[in-house]
């Protein structure tokens, strides 16, 4: 398949460990923050989102934390699996349109 990101920051974790991917966003007026997973040759896949009036939201094996004071977003993946290997993007939107502003992405590599 095609490589999504050739020069992205890379996070290497061992299978079974927890992963934390960080993102700084720019627009203090953003209403929603979303994490997407993109595997090689595929489109972005929704993981989890969080509204600006929350600071934490949990899904299945994933948690998103939002710190509006420092404009920081993080994605925590519990018990990382080989299938989690992909490029992860954060995105933000003001909610007035489906216009998303994406971050630069982080490549997650899961080692056995």
Partner 1 sequence: ETGVTQSPTHLIKTRGQQVTLRCSSQSGHNTVSWYQQALGQGPQFIFQYYREEENGRGNFPPRFSGLQFPNYSSELNVNALELDDSALYLCASSSDYYYGGGELFFGEGSRLTVL
Q: Which residues bind partner 1 (CB under 8 A)?
A: 2-8, 31-32, 34, 36, 41-46, 49, 51, 89, 91, 93, 95-105
What is d(CA 70, CA 45) in angstroms, rounded to the nearest whole number? Answer: 26
Residue 15 C-beta: closest distance to partner 1, Å: 26
CB-nearer residue toward partner 1: 26 or 112: 26
Q: Minimal distance in Å, beta carbon 55 to partner 1?
A: 16
d(CA 98, CA 44): 15
Q: Which CB, 43 or 112, lies closer to partner 1?
A: 43
Token pair recorded at residue 58: 């949990």
Q: How many other C-beta atoms can be found within 10 angstroms of the C-beta atom of residue 28?
A: 8
């Amino acid at each position: 398949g095609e490589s999504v990101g050739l020069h992205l920051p890379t996070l290497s974790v061992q299978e079974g460990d927890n992963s934390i991917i960080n993102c700084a966003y720019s627009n203090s007026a953003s209403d929603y923050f979303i994490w997407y997973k993109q595997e090689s040759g595929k489109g972005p896949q929704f993981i989890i989102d969080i509204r600006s009036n929350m600071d934490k939201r949990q899904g299945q094996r994933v948690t998103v934390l939002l710190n509006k004071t420092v404009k920081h977003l993080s994605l925590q993946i519990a018990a990382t699996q080989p299938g989690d290997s992909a490029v992860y993007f954060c995105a933000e939107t003001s909610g007035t349109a489906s216009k998303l502003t994406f971050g630069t992405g982080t490549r997650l590599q899961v080692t056995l």
